[in-house]
Structure formats: structure tokens, C-alpha cells
Structure 1
């Protein structure tokens, strides 16, 4: 069975209409504000949490003063239980994702648990520019002994002292 020129032309028309529809959808979706497009996702097992940055300076580097305020806000949110939170068991797999424009700037993620060789930090994603996903790690490698693990995601150039955005998530360890 061979395709005739009418069938090929019809398929071509479908592809062109489909591409135009997708292109228009992308153009409409990209009309979001810069802040909305700066998102991080924490995936634990089969569930995910999407969050806006806790610390954000409209796309400009966060100054040292703002970083201090950010740390205070993060500590308050941790104490008040207002951070994006997920329950986790040691056998879960945990990963972090970021939106494409965050990946274009560069980003990394770490926890305040796991091995102490990193000064009390365990890397979830080493500095990366381009990739939007950290890959999934075994939770028992990144959790701390307190039962509450803080996950930090940072957007920025690894050679800069000031990040562009910072997200925080909390993992609550559950019995398996």
C-alpha cells in the first residue's frame, strides 16, 4: 500500500494546523509573569508539590540584606509549619525539578540531612545549567535524624555570591 499525493498533502495540513495550535498555546501560556514562571517542584514517591520561591527579587540577585530576611522568613515558616510539606518514608525516592528559565540561569538543591561530609548538607542536585530535573534519590540518603528535613533549591550562577531565587520544602519522615 502506498500513499498518494492527496494523502500526503492531507497529512501535511494536519501537521501544520497541529503545529499552529501548539505554537499559539505556547504563546498564550508564556504570557505569564516572571515570578509565576519561577517554580520548583519537589517529588516524593508518586506525589509532587509545586512552589513559588520564598525569596525573590524580581529576577535580580538577592542582596545580602534580603538574604538575611529570607533566612528569617524561612525559619519562621519552618516554625509555623507554612512551608510546602510532604510526608516521606525512607524507601521513597525524592527529586527536585525547576521551570526551564530557572534551569537556564543555573540551579542546585540540597537537604539539611544525610551524610555530614558536606557540612550537614546533602546534595540533591549539583549545580546544573540546562537540566530541569535532579533525578530521584533514595530518601534515606538525604533525610536528617530529627524527622523534619529541609530541602533548599537555589537559582543562580554558581560563581555569584547572590542567588536569584530560593525555595524551601519540608519533608516529614513517617514510619514505613
Structure 2
């Protein structure tokens, strides 16, 4: 017994509508109505890790005193190996990504501390990825290299988010 053309077309249309509804249901289940996160991404070679900002004030500028406390907490978390981290070798390439809304304000990323800072990207605005840099030029001589990423309004110099990562220095 063969099905008529109109029956076949009707079944195909039902299958398409059903697939669309299933797809929408999966999207709804994954999305759950949650707002987008403010995660930054550290990319080393072919690996990546994401982290929520260590310093964040709900989208408002962060007070100077809170930034200082945040930096102290990040240093402690680094020592305690609690920061999001990836292994890095001198032959790797390193890049950083930030959320679009914060990238539009302006941002930068660097390794090291104080006078020993090495920029990954400086004064970026609008772009969400730093392009990759040779890890050899970014690594410290210690067992870990801290990466600091900051969203800073280019006009007011106010900080809106700061993320910290560790790169675990490996011998090649």
C-alpha cells in the first residue's frame, strides 16, 4: 500500500514542526531564563578555561577600596591554587576573551605584577579577543604566572570587572 502525496506531505510537515518544537524545548531547558554570565576566557594552546570575575559590582563601577581587597584575595587564591588555571609551555600561544558588553567599555590583560607586567592586550575597546601571544614572552620564572584581565572604561578609567587566572608553567 502506498501513501498519497498529500498524506506524505502532511507527515513531513508534522515532522518538521515536531522537530522545531523539540529544538525549542531543548533551548528552553538549557537556557532556563538565566541572564548571560560575565565570564572571561583564558586560552592556552588548544585548551581554555572560563571564570567569573573576582571583582564585580553588578555592572556598576568598582570602588578603589574594593579593588584593593579583591587584588589581595586574588593573590591569596593564587597561592592556594584556587584560581581558574591551565598548564602552559613556552611553545604555546596565549589569548584572552571577555564578554561583549564589557569589551565595549574597554579592557586590558597582562601577566605579572608591578614593574614585571607583560601586556597581553592593552587599551582594547569593542574587540572581545586579544589575539594570541607567544607564551614564552608572558611566562614568569616562578611555577605559576598570574594573568589579570580588567574591564576599564576608557573615558572615566573606572573598573567594572577584574578576572584572575593562573598559568601553570611547564617545562617543554
TM-score normalized by structure 2? 0.78
- Matched with 2:8 is none
Structure 1 gap ranges (5+): 1-17
- CA displacement at 1:98 relative to structure 2: 1.0
Q: CA RMSD in A?
A: 2.4
Structure 2 gap ranges (5+): 1-19
- Matched with 1:56 is 56
Cα separation, 2, equivalents of 1:171 and 1:66: 25
8 Å contact kept, 1:109–1:125: yes
SS at match of 2:128: coil
Cα separation, 2, equivalents of 1:161 and 1:99: 18
Residues 57-106 of structure 1 show CA distances to partners (whole Å, capped at 9, x for unaligned) of: 11111101111210121111112110001110000000001121121221
Cα separation, 2, equivalents of 1:40 and 1:162: 18
How many correspondences in the alignment? 149
8 Å contact kept, 2:89–2:169: yes
Greater mean alpha carbon deviation, residues 159-168 or residues 148-157: 159-168
TM-score normalized by structure 1? 0.76
Cα separation, 2, equivalents of 1:153 and 1:170: 11
Whether 2:145 is the aligned partner of 1:143: answer: no
